[in-house]
Structure 1
Amino acid sequence: MPPLRALHATLALLAFLCSACSTMTDRCVTPTLAIIGATVYPSPTEAPIADGVVLIHGDKIVAVGTAAAISVCADVPTIRAQGQHLVAGFQNSHIHFTEPIWEGAASQPAAKLGEQLNDIALRRGFTTVVDIGSHTANTVAMRARIERGEVVGPRILTTGIPFYPVNGIPWYLRDLPPEILKMFNTPATPAEARALVAKQVAEGADAVKLFTGSGMGQGKVLPMDTAIATAAADEAHKLGKPVFSHASNLAGLEVAIAARVDVIAHPLQDTDDWSPAVNARMRERGMAMVPTLTLFGSVDNIAAIEREVGDYARAGGQILFGTDGGFIPYRGTDEEFLRMGRAGLDWRAILASLTTAPAARFGESARRGRIAPGMDADLVLLSGDPSRDTGNFSNVRMTIRRGVIAFGR
């Protein structure tokens, strides 16, 4: 677009936003979608807006307020949401597109692929998902189809293929076909690690995942070489990408801390390794934790793992919601919310783990995570009040992605 036309377009958009965000009751706005009557939770820290109105133009929110303050034209498409509760779109910060159902994503029928994405994401309220371990090219192809509008699905961020220690493929992956195992990243030197990170980012990865502690079976964990992990993390950070770690135990966590990893993909299952000192060091590094408590639901020390998560949250550590869906077959979220509550996270902390915390972690707080003018129109309408029962975060009536109803009616 020529510079003068671009300037005119920008001024026109600003003029529209100014008029659409007006709170004058005698002004009729012209959004593309209106949501009226819901109790709106703008963010985890702001007071709810009773009998709220949210106006959307295209893929952006243009006005938020009360029904008394904002009037809406009669012919505007409207979602009447009395008795419902509106929050920003959720992010699932730990899933996997590794199941057979995702194979050949570039050519699967759009309806079939959309149904699968609906099941793992949209019907759960996830407008953004972070895949932290899959075949990069396949996941990037699926994302491209969503972005082109061929398939209805969430925004996808991916680490692509994880990085493992030399001779450190986890025991539960060793039976994969040889052609798949050959694709795995097992850098033997810091230089090789840097080159592989750069290659993977060039192929479309949005983050990097390191198995800083790889489970070898029979309780043995092989730590990644610290120099290799540090080189991989440094290269990712140089390219503006966050780094996830599967640590497994304290030795793996020590490597992650030394390498300045950003996110721990799971709490430590060996809770004997957990201590206030470890907690403090993670917090000082600014690391986030993904609880994935449903994954550990059947282990004997689940209560101690829940305390580990609660201790980190109470110490000010950042918590990111994640289910490990795609690795575990369970698609729901109700058990995860229940266990996060048992860990001591209240509804505000859980909402933050779904919205503002992941937006901040990925450097996107200016565009998503809150319900406010100018933010992305990714929203979730809940049939129950999450401030009264955190289980209501699972009661998704409708998911709106980029200003369009992607799930529900």
Structure 2
Amino acid sequence: MKNLLTFILLGLVSTGLAQKKFIQCGQMLDVASGKLIKEKTLVIEGNRILEVRDGYAAGTSDDSVIDLRTATVLPGLIDMHVHIESEFNPRTYIKRFTMNPADVAFESAVYARRTLMAGFTTVRDLGGSGVNIALSKAISSGLTPGPRLFTCGKAIATTGGHADPTNGRSMELMGDPGPADGVVNSPEDGRKAVRQRYKEGADVIKITATGGVLSVAKNGQNPQFTVEEIRAITSTAKDYGMLTAAHAHGDEGMRRAIEGGIQTIEHGTLMSEATMDLMKAKGVYMVPTISAGKEAAKNAEIPGFFPTVVAQKAREIGPQIQNTFARAYKRGVPIAFGTDAGVFPHGTNAQEFGYMVEAGMPAEEALRAATITNASLLGMSSELGQLKAGYLADIIAVEGDPLRDVSVLKSVRFVMKDGVIHKN
């Protein structure tokens, strides 16, 4: 037995699996304090940070050294709102009828890789067809590169509401989708829909508490769930250990979602000061997605990009998100970082930092939202979001100082996820 163990250990060393990685950091961001610390070395063993040393350290000849002495090193970024299965373009509404699940899967793998290479090592996917669940499994098993993926599978809507998958179809194709399809009309339906998402392998529950911009339906802001329906959904999600999120543009739908126990409000476009205060009182987070609002408003001016009913909503709602975020931040509403990537090109998620800073949030707070805050919301505050011993080795690097110029986050030069280097 002793000889066998020796043989296994020698084999691990010879294949490099026992190697440590020494990442020499010119400066390292301590996101908790919002300060840059010069000349540190991160020692990586397996998929975790073993220790953080002062100065530039190196190991034995069997270990590897990664020289980032001219770079700023940060924890991997976390985006709490993406749609990894798709990317909007003028053919999006037609593609829903021409693409098979396998087509969606191949495209989503490209988007996932692009997101990872942009420095986002963890994302929360808030709605697709169910391919997103398969993609999450493929990434976690190492079949394809991508960020750590928490997904809701199919978002939950009401009949005709935002995320009813049959909106805009002919009467012949419309049918009457139910809880298995993510469409509910009672508390009982809501409970069944949550359990179905759990059965399918989802991590998160998302509801569409109000109308939306990109669905082929006339109202982009009306409330679409009762408080009783929302409570049934959130209480069931809590039983299954699932985080809850609510798409919401209109204020009344937001208020109902918060009263019903939802944990994050996505977009929050027409949020009143009373609703802001309610979010503060209940510890509910706003996920602003400013990038999506700007992109939708821009594309609404391109003839034929959106159906007419969508273009009108995009012009009205899209330009308002940044100003609402500014007011919510100043009022003390808890903020999480999320972009709605997929409405705009995947891999450009970091532009959101610029919009947040432009609206009045200091860079160090925006970075904290995309690391420590989001890790906590995902229930991984002891594993993600900081560069500390014992944490997962999700590490990125950029040139320059992101505290002075957040635009440097749009050009990530080094990406490690789970101790594996994906970009250098």
Matches within 5 A, 1:161-176: 161-169=154-162, 174-175=167-168
CA RMSD of aligned residues (A): 2.9
Q: Give the Cα separation in 1 of the matches to 2:237 and 2:415.
A: 32
- Which residue does 1:384 correspond to in 2? 400
* Cα 1:265–1:219 shift into 2, 3 Å: closer
- Which residue does 2:258 correspond to in 1? 257
* Cα 1:343–1:67 shift into 2, 3 Å: same
- Which residue does 2:117 correspond to in 1? 123
- Which residue does 1:91 correspond to in 2? 78
- Which residue does 1:189 correspond to in 2? 186
Preserved contact between residue 210 and residue 253 of structure 2 (Cα < 8 Å) = yes
- Which residue does 1:40 correspond to in 2? 28
- Which residue does 1:26 correspond to in 2? none
Matches within 5 A, 1:133-152: 133-136=127-130, 138-152=131-145
- Which residue does 1:25 correspond to in 2? none
Instruction: Say whether residues 1:59 and 2:47 are aligned partners.
Output: yes
Measured against aligned partners, the alpha-carbon deviations of 1:265-292 in whole angstroms (never above 9, x if no partner) come to: 1121x3xx522x2211111111111111
* Cα 1:329–1:196 shift into 2, 3 Å: same
Q: Give the Cα separation in 2 of the matches to 1:146 and 1:103.
A: 20
- Structure 1 position 381, deviation (Å): 1.0
- Structure 1 position 230, deviation (Å): 1.1
Q: Give the Cα separation in 2 of the matches to 1:304 and 1:49.
A: 37
* Cα 1:173–1:192 shift into 2, 3 Å: closer
* Cα 1:61–1:283 shift into 2, 3 Å: same
Q: Give the Cα separation in 1 of the matches to 2:288 and 2:137.
A: 29
Matches within 5 A, 1:104-119: 104=101, 114-119=109-114
Secondary structure at the aligned position of 1:48 is classed as strand
Preserved contact between residue 48 and residue 392 of structure 2 (Cα < 8 Å) = yes
Preserved contact between residue 170 and residue 217 of structure 1 (Cα < 8 Å) = no
Measured against aligned partners, the alpha-carbon deviations of 1:374-397 in whole angstroms (never above 9, x if no partner) come to: 000011111221011111222200
Q: Give the Cα separation in 1 of the matches to 2:52 and 2:174.
A: 52
- Which residue does 2:411 correspond to in 1? 395
* Cα 1:33–1:174 shift into 2, 3 Å: same
- Structure 1 position 131, deviation (Å): 0.7
- Structure 1 position 169, deviation (Å): 4.2
Letter in 2 for 1:400: M
- Structure 1 position 344, deviation (Å): 1.0
Unaligned runs of 5+ in 1: 1-29
Preserved contact between residue 73 and residue 398 of structure 2 (Cα < 8 Å) = yes
Secondary structure at the aligned position of 2:155 is classed as coil
Secondary structure at the aligned position of 1:84 is classed as strand
Instruction: Say whether residues 1:49 and 2:27 are aligned partners.
Output: no
Out of 283, 288, 291, the residue aligned to residue 285 of structure 2 is 288
- Structure 1 position 107, deviation (Å): 10
Task: Calculate the TM-score normalised by the size of structure 2.
Answer: 0.80
* Cα 1:288–1:219 shift into 2, 3 Å: closer
Out of 348, 360, 366, the residue aligned to residue 382 of structure 2 is 366
Identity %: 24
Unaligned runs of 5+ in 2: 1-17, 87-94, 298-314
Secondary structure at the aligned position of 2:197 is classed as helix
- Structure 1 position 80, deviation (Å): 0.4
Of the structure 1 ranges 40-49 and 289-298, higher mean CA displacement relative to structure 2 is found in 40-49
- Which residue does 1:207 correspond to in 2? 204
Letter in 2 for 1:154: P
Aligned residues: 372
- Structure 1 position 145, deviation (Å): 1.6
Q: Give the Cα separation in 1 of the matches to 2:125 and 2:105.
A: 19
Secondary structure at the aligned position of 1:284 is classed as helix
Letter in 1 for 2:275: V
Task: Calculate the TM-score normalised by the size of structure 1.
Answer: 0.82
- Structure 1 position 331, deviation (Å): 4.1
